Structure 1
Amino acid sequence: MSAAATTIDAAGVRVTRGRRNVAWTGVGALLVVVVLAAFPYLVHSGTTSIMVQGFIVLTLASMWNLLAGYAGLVSVGQQAFVGLGAYGVLIAATHGLSPFAAVPIAAIASGVAALPLWWLVSRLRSGYFAIATWVLAATVMLIIEKFSSIGGGTGMPLTGLSDLGPTLLAADTYWVGLAVTVAALTGTYLLLQGRLGLALTAIRDDETAARSSGVRVGLARLVVFVVAGVGCGAAGAVLAISQLQVQPRAVFSVQWTAEMAFAVIIGGLGTIEGPIVGTVVYMVLQQTLQSYNAWYLIVLGLVAMLVALFARRGLWGLVESRLDVRLFPVGYWLRAPAGGTGAPPIVPDEVG
């Protein structure tokens, strides 16, 4: 990765992608991925199972952040694509295809399904959009339950993995989950680096002004909605493999949207780093407090409330503001020439 080219206007003011070259961030990210890829050889399968859960939540959080943090679309129905991805793997497995090979197919199918769903909600905004997506997710689940060939309302076990031993199955599931997460984060970063990222920032900040500037608002949001459907579908496919069972009430549960939204709000909306930080916090709280039953949910709610009240930009926002660090810059900085008195830097992809 490298920083975008700098442009200079007549007054000597520079517009740069970030304050520093992000090549070292790319190297560091690659090293982290390599270390994570070696985990099945280093830790117990129970640990890798927890990591798979974290990969699923992080992928979902990245997609929800793309929708809400950049496109201004607060969805409460992303579980629809989680369920579609899970059932995509199940259907492929019943036809003799390996569940692992079916993951990209299920992801693409979820993206295709996002097209007609977007047509139904594209004219809605804010709370109306959120409620409509929730209703659509429930409708998709009810339709799926009508097909007895895939288990109806009770679901059915995932086939095609009986030849793998428990250790190999756990390792393969872990690697697929890691690959999906890396693809989701990389795809999000590349998407936001381009012209679409600028369009989304403009739409989020002021949709009317974006339209008057020639931004194709409808097309930009359609692309994001489809990409989020693909990402959530891939996460649902990994979920099906990790649980070896696809049950409609489980894979279409609104809990998935709650978890992805929690991770984004805690970590920081509108940044690539935010969902990563939020997912780590969520997984630590989950593993620490899940044995306390109702207290687990109470603590999660209190943490979310405190962050929303006292750190509106999330935990990563606090780190960024205090240390002036941005690992994955996707906005632009307006900087005056050396010795000049230009305007302070403007970061359009930052939530204020």
Structure 2
Amino acid sequence: MTTTNPTFDVVRSTAASRAALVVGVLLVALAASLPFWGESSWMREFVEIACYFIFAMMWNLLAGYGGMVSIGQQAFFGFGGYVMLMLGNFAGINPFVAIPLGALAAGLIAVPVSFAAFRLSGGYFAVGTWVIAEVFRLSFANVSAVGGGSGTTLTALRGIDKSTRESVTYWMALACVVAAIALVYLFLRSKRGLALLAIRDNEVAAESQGVPVARMKLAVYVVAAFGAGLAGALYFVGNLRISPDAAFSVNWSAFAIFMVVIGGLGRIEGPLVGALIFWALNKFLSDYGTWYLLGLGLLAILVTLFFKQGLWGYAQQRWGWSLFPTQRRHAAARTPIIRP
């Protein structure tokens, strides 16, 4: 006699995620060819969007997944930019090679910084990270070798013609975006990702289950600093000039919070949607001055009131869209069992 026995399979992908993978590969391949047929202004716009997205993605990893709300991530954004510039201008290293080195330096400096930051929690942690960023800003503003308070120019790229510089910057930005998405996605699907979510929900309960809370928080803090430094180094390679006020402005964290809240906190798709919306608003409405800032604030208020999970969070809840599923779902499967 043949009967069926219900079992369960663990499903980690969806039809939308599989389709998104195919579309994403095609879009990346098409985007990689843009320097051969596109306008230089398109490449500059993409680099700007890429920097917004990477920085917002790292803030989302830190706050949305790790529960550590920081308003001082611009410390690592600016530090990565300044290290890239110093390596290029003073050490003779190609600035494109110096981009990942600047990101690495930001990740390394985050280790001693964490000793001070992790003494605080909650709102004190948020304010403390902002104070740390201000210390970074004032420190670089007093270094005359990098222009002091007025900043300086990236002179290491003078020997490279404009078209080559823009193309390589664009390809670097594209590679950084793909790498940021892939690394965060794979991390969240791993056991460490589950541990991070457990820490976010309840540190005491997570530690009681054997999760190394302090080590995990440090690892996420360092990774977020690395990503912020990567975005900063990439941004100032494209901008060709850096200054303390531009590099360490609290606006960077404010913009990241806006993008993540608009798109959806604790979702990989959230920073992507938020970065595109922020770029569009900045592109077409920034000429309106204070009205533009009021519009950003009003939009953020409306989203938090009517779409508490962000725009992508609402779409995911309403239609089940998930391009980067990190959760594990049980799907029933009926296995035939042959009995005599």
1:142 aligns with 2:145: no
Q: 2:207 and 2:6 mapped to 1: Cα distance?
A: 28
After TM superposition, list the pairs within 5 Å mapping 1:118-133 onto structure 2. 118-133=114-129
Residues 92 and 325 from structure 1, CA distance in 2 versus in 1: closer, same or farther, beyond 3 angstroms? same
Specify which of 268, 286, 289 is matched with residue 285 of structure 2: 289
What's the CA shift for 1:284? 1.0
Question: Equivalent residue for 1:53?
Answer: 48
Residue 92 of structure 1 aligns with which residue? 87
Q: Which moved more, 1:21-30 or 1:62-71?
A: 21-30
Contiguous gaps of at least 5 residues in structure 1: 1-9, 340-352
* Deviation, structure 1 residue 156: 1.0
Superposition map of 1:38-77 within 5 A: 38-77=33-72
* CA pair 306-338 structure 1, distance change in 2 beyond 3 A: farther
Larger radius of gyration: 2
**What is residue 156 of structure 1 aligned with on the other side?**
152
Task: State the Cα deviation string for residues 54-108 of structure 1 (Å, max 9, x = none).
Answer: 0000000110000111000101000000110110111101211111110111110
User: 1:38 offset after TM fit, Å?
Assistant: 2.0
Contact map agreement 2:87 2:95 (CA 8 A) in 1: yes
CA distance in 2: counterparts of 1:172 and 1:335, whole angstroms: 45
Query: For residue 265 of structure 1, what is the aligned residue in structure 2?
Result: 261
- Partner of residue 338, structure 2: none
- Distance of 1:213 and 1:302 partners within structure 2: 42
Q: Aligned equivalents of 1:140 and 1:166: distance in 2? A: 32
Higher relative contact order (CA 8 A, sep 6+): 2
Report deviation, 1:31. 1.4
Which of 7, 11, 32 pairs up with 1:16? 11
Bigger mean CA deviation after superposition, 40-49 or 80-89: 40-49
C-alpha spacing 1:161/1:19, structure 2 compared with 1 (3 Å): closer
CA–CA separation in structure 2 for the residues paired with 1:206 and 1:110: 28
Q: Matched residue of 2:157: which SS?
A: coil
CA RMSD of aligned residues (A): 1.8
Seq. identity, %: 42
Q: Describe how 1:304-319 pairs up with structure 2 within 5 A.
A: 304-319=300-315
Structure 1 pair 333–114 and aligned structure 2 pair: CA distance change class (3 A): same
Runs of 4+ with >6 A deviation: none
TM value normalised by structure 2 = 0.92
Equivalent position amino acid for 1:269 in 2: L
TM-score if structure 1 supplies the norm length? 0.89
SS at the partner of 1:12?
strand
Displacement of 1:210 in angstroms is 1.0
Cα separation, 2, equivalents of 1:165 and 1:40: 14
Note the alpha carbon deviations across 1:103-129, whole angstroms, 9 max, x for none. 111110100000011111113222111
Indicate yes or no: 2:215 matched with 1:225: no
Q: Which amino acid aligns with 2:65?
A: Y
Is the helix fraction higher in 1 or 2? 2
Asked if 1:242 is matched to 2:238, the reply is yes
